[in-house]
Amino acid sequence: MSNEPPAAGHAVHQADLAHVSPRDKAEILAQALPYIRKFHGKTIVIKYGGNAMTDPALQLDFAEDVVLLKLVGMNPVVVHGGGPQIDEALAKIGKKGTFIQGMRVTDEETMEVVEWVLAGQVQQDIVGLINVAGGKAVGLTGRDGGLIRARKLKMLDKDDPSKEHDVGQVGQIESIDPSVVKALQDDQFIPVISPLGFGEHNENYNINADVVAGKLAEVLKAEKLVLLTNTPGVLDKSGRLLTDLSAREIDELFADGTISGGMLPKIASALDAAKSGVNSVHIIDGRVPHSMLLEILTEQAYGTMIRSH
């Protein structure tokens, strides 16, 4: 055991806990035990995005949470987005992102930037943070080990389905071969995956990270899929948080328009995963420090849980 003082980030956490009595701390740890036992050895796929990914303090919290889950015997797999970082990089070369129906139009030049940002800058930042927090993270893209095969996304107009939009090198998943992820997991590593796929002629495709996380959770038969967002979770029409929903209830919320806009693709991925064997899907607020740990290891709901049945 090292006698070195904790790093600055840890000192802050120590201070946060100073007002908690030893008895309460013990109570908190004891409460986590049944969850640790229940999820030991299970795979948890985490979609990392939003504020949790751009706020330095929340980045540290996220990395610590992932390492803790690994150390108590779970198998976290991280899939990350990078929208704001891509916009920033495009602005540097004087290019403005264009979107059709919420999907980034990805021409050849944009695709180069997307690859450089996702597989380079963003992925390596996350890998570094997890390693500094005491984990062993390894960065992957869809090319590594033939992980994500994709084809060009056919995007139909939402008002006129006979019309198709060309959104460039945006892909939809054809198949996922999880063997490289499983090999890393079995070897104590934490995979960090950029949502980039490849086509039959070696073309590059940019894929929605929520979709990649959902499909990966299905293929890995994950216990949980956790989506970090910039919202408290799924809200009803009067703005109250819905903490526990079945797949059927979600279908009803789609039908009556309660779920719309930017939440649609996220919830659609979550719903597919829940219907395809992932036990529970959690849509949680990444702006709350350690929200992921609180959601997985305590009774308290920190977002919306979608049950598979």
Instruction: Point out the annotated binding site.
Output: 82-83, 104, 206
Q: Show contacts of 105-108: CB within 8 Å, 24+ apart.
A: 105/167, 105/168, 105/170, 106/167, 106/168, 106/169, 106/170, 106/206, 107/168, 107/169, 108/168, 108/169
Residue spans of beta strands (DSSP E) within 222-299:
224-229, 244-246, 280-285
Binding residues for substrate: 82-83, 104, 206
φ/ψ (deg, to 5) at 296: -85, -35
Joined tokens for residue 241: 């948080």
How are beta strands 303-307 and 280-285 bridged, if at all? antiparallel
Contact between 192 and 81 under an 8 Å Cβ cutoff? The reply is no
Q: What dihedral angle (degrees, nearest 10) is formed by the CA atoms of 243, 249, 255, 256? A: -60
The answer to whether 59 and 90 are in contact (CB under 8 A) is no
Q: CA nearest 193: which of 135, 148, 132, 131?
A: 148
Q: CA 90 to CA 96: how far, in whole Å? A: 6
Residue 41 token pair: 């050895």
